[in-house]
Amino acid sequence: MTGRAAVVTGASRGIGRAIATALAAAGQAVVVGYAGSAAAAREVVDHITAGGGRAVAAQADVADERAVAALFDTATEAFGGVDVVVNSAGRMSLAPIAELDLADLDDLHRTNVRGTFVVAREAARRLRPGGAVVMLSSSVVGLQFPTYGAYAASKGAVEAMTMVLARELRGRDITVNAVAPGPTATELFLDGKDEETVARLAKQPPLERLGTPEDIARVVAFLAGPDGRWVNGQVLRANGGIA
């Protein structure tokens, strides 16, 4: 994938960081998009460049269309264009539907739904032929865990946008897919969960463990690379076999 350039949002930590690192290891130049932590994004850039890769950091609120346009401008200025877009930026708010604060719902949907739409729109306008878009959904869309109502709804919207965009880009040689992780050992997932809950969730897949960010990153790198060119308009549930 040498000569290709990727924009990865939410790349300063967790799954996004692993994705940025995996794409760089495969030869892509990477724009490490981040929302708030410049220091964490710089660590990702330093890690990539120390390994011989190319990367720059750029701040953007994915729900802000001007900021996202500037993110893509950074990729064009630094690397000549954009070939891969991975939207890993996301927010999670957990509560029973009857109890969820609507302000939390609005914040969640601003990032997960509007943000995904804004990134998808810019990708549709900018990607070069041979490009790939990978959105991050979640296996909770199908698993329907209690307290995940708002989050699952937002990720259901991500999957719908993925399917529509894949068809709208007909004839442009651009693939559009989503990866839906199951329980994955990230700071976002582990926050607020006790050891018993984590252990119970880890036992659910037949493989009897939590996923790792690297597990998800390898799936994304496949979809973003030459071996994934015949996969289009799909949701890959990377969850270790949870039904």
pLDDT tens by residue, 61-94: 999 999 999 999 999 999 999 999 999 999 999 9
Tell me the pTM. Answer: 0.94
User: How does DSSP assign 168-191, residue by residue?
Assistant: HTTTS--EEEEE---SB-SHHHHT
CA dist., res. 27 & res. 135, Å (int): 20
| Dihedral over alpha carbons 138, 142, 148, 153 (to 10 degrees) | 80
Q: What are the catalytic residues?
A: 151
Q: What domains does the chain contain, in order, with CATH numbers?
A: 5-236 (3.40.50.720)
Strand partners, 84: 6, 132
**If we measure between CA atoms, which residue out of 5, 3, 8 comes closest to residue 135?**
8
| Dihedral over alpha carbons 154, 158, 161, 165 (to 10 degrees) | 160
pLDDT tens by residue, 178-212: 999 998 988 877 777 888 888 988 998 999 999 99
pLDDT tens by residue, 24-62: 999 999 999 999 899 999 999 999 999 999 999 999 999
